[in-house]
């Protein structure tokens, strides 16, 4: 059966409920490594007793340490024989990933459960550092069909589930309602960036803010949020494993972004945190994570509005990526620890707990059946993020599957947006870099 089942095709099939059958028939791409050589049924936990304790490594996404501990306390009241040690393993996704990577290399103490971001989990899959969860999901009767499809599918590859969604987010368009009112603008996010470009001079003239719009800090997640611009113009970082960041459409999108700063002079680039800049009134609008929502609402001294991400001249919808992190179980710990961690993983992602996590952080509930009534009554803006899930798009392979590519995208964005570098030349150089990463670090581990 001739069919190219890359991740995008697989997720599209999975959304139709035929992904498993199609991959089984076609023998879709698999990746080398100890974890990928066995099927979920090979991991047999029959007769295994859960370990008495394990470490849960987290970076507390969305300032979630208190709610994480609260959920752990509830878990241990129900399962007193399993102690969960909450470990701050880094200040962000990168730090926790580096710690996990270092522990693998040093063969030192590993966690039973670990937070894995969207740009890090795949390399652990290719290296065999995490186990497929399918067998445990079946054995423990985890209601996988009750997870938000677009969120759980982000951790599926080669017909296996490698993590469950945890602190999941989309970027949101944040706007200062007071500035919009003063400028005589409608109380909504712009439908397209072209529409916003018409609004920007009015905002600058009436708001007193330094910028009408500020781009997220490039050292953060430029590769994530700029997918919105690229997709709106018909471009992308990549199409499957074809890297087309230097395409006419991609270059045009980023040239427009550069012009908004240097030519039209209504935009800037955050030096540290765009959400903080927005809350401080430095800018009238920005794009930032759903996970920043509660912090913005708490610190802003003005009326905050949120909306879907704007489209572009080629696409006005499906221009929003998902993002954030999931929870995975390392392969380098004992079955006893894996089973204990899986017991907690099931509990952590139950509807009641995902609703509590969402209420405390602003992240999206990962379960369809989560009762969000009380949360939405208190923070109705969260519903915008939930509604936007229906028009999200799978992230480009180049960003989430190539080790270190996100940092390379940030460097390229910095050249374009803070140094006014030549867009075409910068994107051509980036394509060469991405091709090199794929050829050296990914392609040898993929099998057709």
Shared domain for 233 and 311, answered yes or no, is yes
Shared domain for 135 and 61, answered yes or no, is yes
Shared domain for 277 and 207, answered yes or no, is yes
Predicted local distance difference test score (pLDDT) of residue 44: 84
Whether residue 35 has pLDDT greater than 60: no
| Any domain includes 242 | yes
Predicted local distance difference test score (pLDDT) of residue 428: 98
Shared domain for 303 and 272, answered yes or no, is yes
- DSSP helix/strand/coil, 182: helix
| Any domain includes 304 | yes
Domain containing 428 — which CATH number?
A: 3.40.190.10
**Average of pLDDT values for 136-145?**
94
**Average of pLDDT values for 330-358?**
96
| Any domain includes 363 | yes
What's the number of domains the chain is made of?
2
* Higher local confidence (pLDDT), 29 or 433: 433
352 vs 236: CA distance, rounded Å: 37
Which of 37-51, 134-148, 165-179, 322-336 has the least mean pLDDT?
A: 37-51
| Any domain includes 195 | yes
Shared domain for 132 and 204, answered yes or no, is no
Predicted local distance difference test score (pLDDT) of residue 285: 98
Predicted local distance difference test score (pLDDT) of residue 228: 98
Shared domain for 341 and 409, answered yes or no, is no
Whether residue 49 has pLDDT greater than 60: yes
- Looking at the chain, the whole-number percentage of residues with pLDDT higher than 70 is 90
* Higher local confidence (pLDDT), 12 or 186: 186
341 vs 354: CA distance, rounded Å: 17
Looking up tokens 């989309």, which residue turns up?
A: 170
- DSSP helix/strand/coil, 317: coil
Residue 42 — very low, low, confident or very high, per pLDDT cuts 50/70/90? low
What is the length of the chain?
Answer: 448
For 140-186, strand residue ranges (E) read: 156-157, 160-161, 164-169, 171-176
Predicted local distance difference test score (pLDDT) of residue 158: 86
What does pTM read for this prediction? 0.84
* Secondary structure element (H or E) that encloses residue 11, with its range: helix 7-15
Predicted local distance difference test score (pLDDT) of residue 36: 38
Q: What is the pLDDT of residues 275-298, one digit of tens each?
A: 999 999 999 999 999 888 989 999
Give the contacts of 432 (CB within 8 A, at least 6 positions apart): none
- Looking at the chain, the whole-number percentage of residues with pLDDT higher than 90 is 74
**Average of pLDDT values for 65-83?**
97
Backbone angles phi and psi of 208, in degrees to 5: 80, 0
Shared domain for 300 and 407, answered yes or no, is yes
* Higher local confidence (pLDDT), 149 or 189: 189
**Average of pLDDT values for 404-417?**
95
Shared domain for 298 and 250, answered yes or no, is yes
Shared domain for 108 and 218, answered yes or no, is no
Shared domain for 63 and 144, answered yes or no, is yes
Q: What is the pLDDT of residues 214-272, one digit of tens each?
A: 999 987 689 999 999 999 999 999 999 999 999 999 999 999 999 999 999 999 999 99
- DSSP helix/strand/coil, 306: strand
Shared domain for 131 and 148, answered yes or no, is yes
Domain encompassing residue 115: 32-168+325-378
| Any domain includes 428 | yes
| Any domain includes 337 | yes
Whether residue 38 has pLDDT greater than 80: no
Shared domain for 413 and 271, answered yes or no, is yes
| Any domain includes 20 | no
301 burial (CB, 10 Å; 0-12 / 13-18 / 19+) is: exposed
277 vs 124: CA distance, rounded Å: 35
Predicted local distance difference test score (pLDDT) of residue 105: 77
Looking up tokens 């018409």, which residue turns up?
A: 198
**Average of pLDDT values for 122-145?**
93
Residue 106 — very low, low, confident or very high, per pLDDT cuts 50/70/90? confident
| Any domain includes 418 | yes
Q: Tally helices (H) and strands (E) across the chain.
A: 20, 18
Predicted local distance difference test score (pLDDT) of residue 220: 65
Predicted local distance difference test score (pLDDT) of residue 221: 80
């Amino acid at each position: 059966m001739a069919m190219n089942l890359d991740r995008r095709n697989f997720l599209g099939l999975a959304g139709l409920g035929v992904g498993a059958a199609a991959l089984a028939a076609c023998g879709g791409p698999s990746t080398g490594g100890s974890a990928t050589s066995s099927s979920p049924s090979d991991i047999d936990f029959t007769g295994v007793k859960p370990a008495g304790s394990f470490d849960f490594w987290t970076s507390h996404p969305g300032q979630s340490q208190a709610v994480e501990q609260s959920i752990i306390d509830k878990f241990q009241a129900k399962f007193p024989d399993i102690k969960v040690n909450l470990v701050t393993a880094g200040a962000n996704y990168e730090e926790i990933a580096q710690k996990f990577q270092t522990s693998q290399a040093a063969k030192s103490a590993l966690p039973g459960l670990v937070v894995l971001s969207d740009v890090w989990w795949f390399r652990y899959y290719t290296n065999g550092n995490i186990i497929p969860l399918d067998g445990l999901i079946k054995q423990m009767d985890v209601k996988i069909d009750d997870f938000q499809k677009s969120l759980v599918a982000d951790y599926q590859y080669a017909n296996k589930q490698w993590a469950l969604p945890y602190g999941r987010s989309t970027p949101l368009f944040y706007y200062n309602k007071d500035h919009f009112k003063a400028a005589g603008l409608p109380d909504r996010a712009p439908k397209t960036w072209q529409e916003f470009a018409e609004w920007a001079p009015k905002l600058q003239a009436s708001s007193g803010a330094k910028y009408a719009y500020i781009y997220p800090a490039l050292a953060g997640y430029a590769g994530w949020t700029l997918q919105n611009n690229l997709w709106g113009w018909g471009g992308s970082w990549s199409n499957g494993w074809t890297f087309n960041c230097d395409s006419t459409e991609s270059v045009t999108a980023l040239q427009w972004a550069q012009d908004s700063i240097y030519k039209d002079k209504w935009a800037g680039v955050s030096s540290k945190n765009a959400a903080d800049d927005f809350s401080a009134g430095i800018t009238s609008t920005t794009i930032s994570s759903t996970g920043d929502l509660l912090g913005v609402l708490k610190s802003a001294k003005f009326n905050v509005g949120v909306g879907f991400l704007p489209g572009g001249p080629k696409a006005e919808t499906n221009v929003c990526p998902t993002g954030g992190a999931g929870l995975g179980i390392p392969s380098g710990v004992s079955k006893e620890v894996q089973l204990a961690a899986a017991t907690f993983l099931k509990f952590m992602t139950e509807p009641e707990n995902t609703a509590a996590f969402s209420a405390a952080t602003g992240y999206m509930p990962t379960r369809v059946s989560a009762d969000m009534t009380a949360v939405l009554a208190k923070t109705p803006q969260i519903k915008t993020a939930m509604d936007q899930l229906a028009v999200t798009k799978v992230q480009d392979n180049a960003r989430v599957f190539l080790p270190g590519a996100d940092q390379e995208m940030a460097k390229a964005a910095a050249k374009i947006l803070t140094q006014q570098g030549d867009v075409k030349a910068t994107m051509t150089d980036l394509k060469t870099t991405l091709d090199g990463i794929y050829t050296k670090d990914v392609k040898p581990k993929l099998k057709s």
